[in-house]
Structure 1
Amino acid sequence: MSEQQRVRVTGPPRRRRIPRGQSPGESDRLGEIYLGSLMRDQLVSAAITLVLLTLGIGSLPLVFWLFPGLASIAPLGVPLPWILLGVLVYPFLVLLGWLYVRRAERSEAAFAELNHKHDQAYPEDDE
């Protein structure tokens, strides 16, 4: 029998090789601007997600403190705080995570597209 070489798969194949220790776009000033834009967009995405998380889940104790009558509501015999914190919080977290990942992937795709266009327009910069 012939032996096959093992291949470790760590993610989708990349379009091009990047020199070790260098991220895409670090080779020139325009690349630095693209990279800064990507990092800024990622920071904004993280901040928006954090604000939504804080408003959505972090405000629940305040709501129950301001409106103590809500704690006595028991749909299907289960207290409302238990339903909110034990059941409904998880779909909310999954939705926030999905939206964050979707926005991050769009930002990275736009960054890769800009880098690709720049590399095609200025092929001599790759040396």
Structure 2
Amino acid sequence: MAAEPVPRREVVTRAPGTTAAPRAYRPAPERPDPLPPAVRTEVRRLIRAQLRAGLAVGGTLAVLVATLPLLLRTVPGSGLGPVPPLLVWAVLGIAVYPLFLVLAGWYVRRAERNEREYTRAVEGS
């Protein structure tokens, strides 16, 4: 038996039959910033304020929820040993949600206040 010849591999970079060379990359021209410097400063201030509020809520929630299992593990339930698992599930699965609602309400009020301050500052400048 004769070995069949292996076809030659080809690298395809454009449609067959075209002879046009690929275009060189040209970056898009930079557009001028439409915001005046005072507004740009206020936008940065708003972003920082919103970030601070989000980090405060997230950090508070993380600390409180992360320490709950440790607290429930170290505080003995009526002196008979660790807290019963059902109580742990009830605290972690049910009692945490009012905390979520309080923190979410605080965050929404804070975010709206930040946006009102931003609007007031931009309209005043």
Same fold (TM over 0.5): yes
TM range (shorter): 0.5 to 0.7
Matches within 5 A, 1:1-127: 27-65=35-73, 67=74, 69-70=76-77, 71-72=82-83, 79-118=86-125
Partner of 2:16: none
Deviation at 1:68, TM superposition (A): 5.7
In structure 2, runs of 5+ residues without a counterpart are 1-33
In structure 1, runs of 5+ residues without a counterpart are 1-25, 119-127
Larger radius of gyration: 2
- TM-score, normalization by structure 1: 0.62
- Cα RMSD for the two superposed structures: 1.9
Alignment: residue pair count: 88
Cα distance per residue 1:30-49 (max 9 Å; x no partner): 11110000000011001100
Alpha-carbon separation, structure 2, partners of 1:113 and 1:61: 44
Write the letter of the residue equivalent to 2:83: S
- TM-score, normalization by structure 2: 0.63
Whose helix proportion is higher, 1 or 2? 1
